Structure 1
């Protein structure tokens, strides 16, 4: 159908040209011819009036000059039309049509329409549940990739290709496609969660390929942009495989805290496995007292630059010096941060305290000391009577 259209449209344009423009041109030529004849008649009439004495010499010259100017202009129009006919006679029309057809065919086959139609037809067969040979499926993906290579900015297309490649366990190809998505995504305004999702997919691929260290690095980068159950769970799994047991406990604990209403029995089992592994190494795992802080930021957080840093800290009630603190990138309007003994600034942690003040601050320049223009959070009191405590802190713009 598309091929037929490419041939039919130029033909239709040519017919319109013949049927409508040619009569219009003929009418224009007739009009100019009549105008020239009228100007010549007026010149002859002016000479007759001068001879009869009804016009003075000055009036005659003035009127004749105006008529001669108009006659000269119409004569120029007539000559231009004549030259136009000599430059493009009728036998050029078929040649012009052949050129248009050739150009349309070239555009269709070379620039991408033909490939787009082929890919669409192949995917329609796949989605319809028709039996597709593996070779045909590979060809469909290869054709789709070739098409997308001419459209590198097509983020949605590259993402769809990456997901299909990943589902078919074409991991290396999927990784490259996700890398293309990430590259293009970072060139435009986007949601931080989207970046986190792509990084998590890339981490899963590296894990499937057995590249554990690269996988963990990607999951950790993903978690800087947004907390997802997938990234937290798999980061804990990869850390466990790398014998980084305390880190695996930390990620699985964050996963548990992020889903307080879910059945955490499986997560608790994973944590126990890491604790047992540490025990076999002669290490007694003691997380100490922990405070979970739910951070809320204003909607304008998306306008922050990469220099902005979130500081979350706990201090003795009524004092300014923090006991424990964390320094994190701002990755979302809602963030969950866990403060523990491992975040101690002096080694003492929460020792000897029944409660602490918890607050947060967004430094626009990343400087630890408070600066004018920083976004400040309110102060919440966290009771330390239990091993785990939870508070909420809201941050506001100045």
Structure 2
């Protein structure tokens, strides 16, 4: 940090010199003018020279004596007038002093405002952490988990306004079963997020889950956190999952199934599988009790099974590492709803497109009824089709209830 302040001091001094130097130079030039230039003395010299010329003209007879006296009187009169009208005033020196004072005040104001601005928006702690921290705090070796956590905590202590860092620390603590420490880290993370941030509701839900595990029960604090989460996002999966767990433990299986079915609207992948399993368990318990379960139906999953291969006449000379892009889009086009990246070496292959292959929660296969499915062998590796690429495309494919897998054979050449 000493180098930082030395640099600031040097730049401040330079700014002061830039402001004050022109004023000093102007003041010096004025003083020099006062010293080297005396108009009264100049007038005296001119008077003597002209008087000498008149005397010579009188001696040579060029002018008469009366004319000489008249011209001499005129010269003396002009000399007296100039002497009274052109007195040198030292007021210009006093004006220079005022300007110099203003210059010093201005230079000080620039320096003070710069320091104040840096204190307001500068990142001195970040710089200190960066300067004091070695490039590799572990000197090239793989750190232990405890060492990595300690290093992260050190960085967060120096730079606490780092929600990503707090989230990583909280997730790590959850994985290690250190639930109270996870709660503390999630709370720090939430404190640096705004309600309008995309991650806000998710982190709030995970905080509720950490609180649940730390308390070992669904207590009032956990419920309050769950309610705050659902106020921010009514379909937040973790919060709804916790409500389902609480209802299931209280043997309110119908309520548990309802919470989990609601969460399914916003879930995909392994999370959706867990929720579906929960709904099935709750439904089975209700069946054991002899209750009607016709109102508890799992939604049909969006799924497109397919078999993908390359035509034999297109395989010759095709490198094994050439990428193959398999995507499903809305019939009108746009962003992929599901995408899988393969290589020529992976083909032929049988697989299934579903919400687990979605590019984002807002663009899922289950959000539409029909799609266009295409597979492209990208010879250039470009995500956009290029001339010479190999392609197969099938339109108007339903996202649910396909009676058998699609048979997709890459054979067409992109022109």
TM-score w.r.t. the length of structure 2 is 0.44
TM-score w.r.t. the length of structure 1 is 0.46
Larger Rg: 2
